[in-house]
Chains A and B, each alone.
Chain A
C-alpha cells in the first residue's frame, strides 16, 4: 500500500465494495491518500487468469488493537488490469 510519501506492507482482513480493512505494522494517518492493488485469484474468481484491481482511496479510520494496527480505506477510484 502506497501513500504519496511511503510504502507499507499490509494484509487484507476484510474487503467489500465500500472499502478495505488492512492490518499493518505501521501507523498511517487518517485522511492519507493511498494506492493499492487487489489481486483477485483466478480460483476464487472462477476465471482463467487472476485479475488486478488497482485502487486509489483514503484512510478513513486507523485503530490500534491488541492484534495489531488496522487501517480502513475507502476506495475512490479503481481500474482493472489483466495479468
Chain B
C-alpha cells in the first residue's frame, strides 16, 4: 500500500497508484473517505469536494480490501462507499462500519437504485445515506453535509420503505411470538381448520395422512397454548393469524369442489354472529368438550 498525502480534487492520483489515503491530513472540516471502483467517479467526487472549504477527502480506495484498510487507519467523518466494490454490499457496509476508526463515522452508499428490502437492510446495517451515480454535484455536497450532521439521506421512496418497515416491525412486536414460528404447513392446516375443513380434508389438501394432520394440530396447539380447533379459530380471529396468508391454489380448487354443496346443510339454528367488534378473551380453563369436526372427518 502506498499512502499518499492529498487534500481535494487537485491532488487525486491516477488509478494505478491506489490505494491512496492520507494519515497526515489534518482538517477541521468533514473528513471523507472515497471508496469507488471507478476512478472517474472517484476523481469527480473529489473534485467536487475540493471546491467546498468544509469538505476534505482524506483517503481514497478502489477495492474492498483497500477500503477496509483505509477506514481502519484513517479517521473519517463520512465514508462514501460504492456498492460495486463488493458482491455482497450489505455485508460489506457492515464490515466497513465495524472497522471505521471513528465509531461516529457515517456511511453513505453509492448504489444503483436499490429495492425496498435492500434499502431497509442497508439502513439497518448502519448506512446513513443512499445515493445513485446520477446525483447532482449540489445534492452530493448537501448529502455529505447532512449525513455528517447526523441526518439520514434517502429519496422519498426510500423514506416510505423505511417507515413501512418500522410499522411492520412494530406490528410484529405486538403479535404473539408463536406466530412467527408457524411453518407454511402449519399455516395451511390452520387455514383449513378455520374454514371448517375436517382433518381428512386437510390431509388430502396438504398431501399427507389424517394422523399427520392431527400431529401438526397438536404442535400448533402447543405453540399457541390452546386446546382445540374452536380456540384455534377464535385465536385466528383475534390475532388475525391468517392476514396476508395466501393459500395454495389447491385449496381454492378444493373449495370449488366441496364448498357450495355443503352450504344448504347449515344455518338451521338461530344465528348469533360473532361481530368484528366482539371482544375475544384469552383462552380460559374450561370443561372437556367434544369437537365433532375433528372426529368425524
Q: A residues bordering B, Cβ < 8 Å?
A: 1-2, 7-20, 22, 35-41, 43-49, 51-54, 74-83
Interface of A is mostly: strand
Contact check, A82 vs B266: say whether CB atoms are below 8 A apart. yes
- Does B284 sit at the interface, judged by CB under 8 A? yes
Not counting A39-B272, A40-B233, A40-B274, a sample of 5 additional A-B residue pairs whose C-beta atoms are within 8 angstroms of each other reads A13-B279, A39-B273, A39-B274, A46-B240, A81-B196
Task: Chain B residues near A48: list those with CB within 8 A.
Answer: 195, 252, 255
- Does B292 sit at the interface, judged by CB under 8 A? yes
Please, could you name 6 A-B residue pairs with CB atoms under 8 Å apart, sorted by A?
A15-B278, A37-B272, A41-B273, A45-B242, A51-B195, A52-B271
- Does B184 sit at the interface, judged by CB under 8 A? no
The residue that A54 contacts in the complex, of B194, B255, B269, with Cβ under 8 A, is B269
Q: How far is A47 from B252 in the complex, measured between Cα atoms in Å?
A: 11
Tell me the minimal C-beta distance from A23 to chain B in angstroms: 10
Task: How many A-B residue pairs have C-beta atoms within 8 angstroms? Tell me.
Answer: 157
Interface magnitude class on chain B: 35 or more
Q: How far is A75 from B265 in the complex, measured between Cα atoms in Å?
A: 21
Stretch binding the partner chain, chosen from B101-109, B123-131, B209-217, B224-232: B224-232
Most buried by A among B252, B273, B285: B273
- Does B181 sit at the interface, judged by CB under 8 A? no
Q: How far is A36 from B265 in the complex, measured between Cα atoms in Å?
A: 15
Contact check, A40 vs B266: say whether CB atoms are below 8 A apart. no
Q: A81-B262, A82-B259 are in contact. Are A38 and B281 (CB under 8 A)?
A: no
- Does B17 sit at the interface, judged by CB under 8 A? no
Q: How far is A76 from B255 in the complex, measured between Cα atoms in Å?
A: 29
251-297 of chain B: CB within 8 A of chain A: 252, 255, 258-259, 262-263, 265-267, 269-276, 278-287, 289-293, 296
The residue that B281 contacts in the complex, of A11, A16, A76, A81, with Cβ under 8 A, is A16
